[in-house]
Amino acid sequence: MIGLGADPIDTAAVAAAVRCERFGGVVLFEGVVRAFGERAQAVRELHYEAYPELAISEMEKIAGEVRVRWGPCAVAMRHRTGTVLAGETSVAIAVACTHRADAFEACAYAIEQVKSRVAIWKQERYADGSARWLDTVVNEAHS
């Protein structure tokens, strides 16, 4: 399960996608929209934009890297697009490996790679009505 979309993320389904009798460690990471942003401003919501074909392709590459480095294992990823309110899950990654230490390491690797490589852009929208693009070169174009 590798996906991208505007619908809320079913984190139980993400974890279930990797769970099986073969693996003893399952780790689920949930990225949740914080109520306070990068500049300690009250956040109303985040808005995510993506280049779907490129984003999914890169997520699949990352999952492949995880399988090569920590395999045998299973990987599932889902990222939201559109508007995500404070308190909601914006990204979920689950990894199942034979041993728990590998599952933790693989899941940490996967989220760091998703944040740095996948064609998804994030805008913080604040309670005062202002907004700011974060984390990418696209930020400068939208500031």
Could you tell me how many residues make up the chain?
143
pLDDT tens digit string along 36-63?
A: 877 788 999 999 999 999 999 999 999 9
**What is the CATH classification number for the domain harbouring 94?**
3.90.1170.40
Q: How many Cβ atoms from other residues are within 10 Å of residue 39's Cβ? A: 9
pLDDT value for 135: 65
Short-list 39, 24, 96, CA closest to 66: 96
pLDDT tens digit string along 92-121?
A: 999 999 999 999 999 999 999 999 999 999
pLDDT value for 143: 33
In this model, does residue 87 exceed pLDDT 60?
yes
What range does the domain containing 34 cover? Answer: 2-142
Instruction: Say what angle helices 100-117 and 52-70 make with each other, to 10 degrees.
Output: 150
How many folded domains does the chain comprise?
1
| Tokens 């399960």, residue located | 1
pLDDT tens digit string along 59-85?
A: 999 999 999 999 899 999 999 999 999
pLDDT value for 139: 32
Q: Looking at the whole model, is its pTM more than 0.95?
A: no
